[in-house]
Amino acid sequence: VNELYVDDPDKDSGGKIEVNLNISLPNLHCELVGLDIQDEMGRHEVGHIDNSMKIPLNNGDGCRFEGHFSINKVPGNFHVSTHSATAQPQNPDMTHIIHKLSFGDKLQVHNVHGAFNALEGADKLSSNPLASHDYILKIVPTVYEDMSGKQRYSYQYTVANKEYVAYSHTGRIIPAIWFRYDLSPITVKYTERRQPLYRFITSICAIIGGTFTVAGILDSCIFTASEAWKKIQLGKMQ
């Protein structure tokens, strides 16, 4: 059963949302790749490194960035860029593939289909290497309550994107991959419920009743056809 209401469901989170990001930049060295986080509460963090990992690709020419971090429940952004590098490259290549971007707990429930990893498989390898990418996310809080009453808190999101070339005040092109997010006040809740016993009994009775009804109709049709056939045979004998 699902329902919609206005609330902040995970009040014990301390106003934080956990983020999981996994992205490959096949033409940018790992020493140049960094994660920056900003929001409307004044947070401005350049080169976030906690719970993150960089894996070299293409003999060191590329990089796969995997990060697990938290953001505040206010509008803001996080972006992958070269801003934290000690020396800025002349022609940074921001072509990329997004393997995963998810928020909150991971939900593996067969009967719940939603946009929990909407950017999975986003492929920008054929884009302009010097282009910046804006992914505008609208995050929707999602609660799943199982049969035992245990709740898990996740987040779905919708996404729109644009691609453009950005110049700094010095005239240099400094591309980045931006994830700009805002939260929806609407919460989606899925509640797992068991069918009551009386509904099961009613279904069984309906099946049995339907079976007897169909059997009665078939028996009547067969009997009528048999009687008609007997009359035809008697008519031929006379």
Is the pLDDT reported for residue 49 higher than 70? Answer: yes
Same domain, yes or no, for 95 and 155? yes
Least confident of 24-38, 116-130, 190-204: 190-204
Same domain, yes or no, for 119 and 44? yes
Same domain, yes or no, for 38 and 140? yes
Task: Give the pLDDT score at 8.
Answer: 86
Tell me, what CATH number does 92's domain have? 2.60.470
Same domain, yes or no, for 147 and 119? yes
- Considering the chain, what percentage of its residues have pLDDT values greater than 90? 61
Same domain, yes or no, for 50 and 156? yes
Same domain, yes or no, for 2 and 109? yes
Domain endpoint, select from 189, 204, 219:
189
What ranges make up the beta strands (E) of 171-221? Answer: 176-183, 186-191
Same domain, yes or no, for 38 and 96? yes
pTM score, two decimals? 0.79
Q: State the average pLDDT over residues 158-181.
A: 91
DSSP state of 72: E
What's the pLDDT tens digit per position in 58-68?
Answer: 999 999 999 99
Q: How far is 229 from 222, CA to CA, in rounded Å?
A: 10
83-86 CB contacts, 8 Å cutoff, 24+ apart = 83/34, 83/36, 83/46, 83/47, 83/174, 83/176, 84/34, 84/35, 84/36, 84/46, 84/47, 85/31, 85/32, 85/34
Q: How far is 207 from 150, CA to CA, in rounded Å?
A: 35
Is the pLDDT reported for residue 230 higher than 90? Answer: no
Residue 135, amino acid: Y
Is the pLDDT reported for residue 209 higher than 60? Answer: yes
Identify any residues that bridge with 66 across adjacent strands, giving them in sequence order. Answer: 22, 53
Q: State the average pLDDT over residues 49-65.
A: 95
Number of domains in the chain: 2
Domain endpoint, select from 155, 174, 189:
189
Task: Give the pLDDT score at 238.
Answer: 57
Same domain, yes or no, for 129 and 147? yes
Domain hosting residue 214, numbered range: 194-237
Query: Residue 29: how many CB atoms within 10 A of its CB?
Result: 19
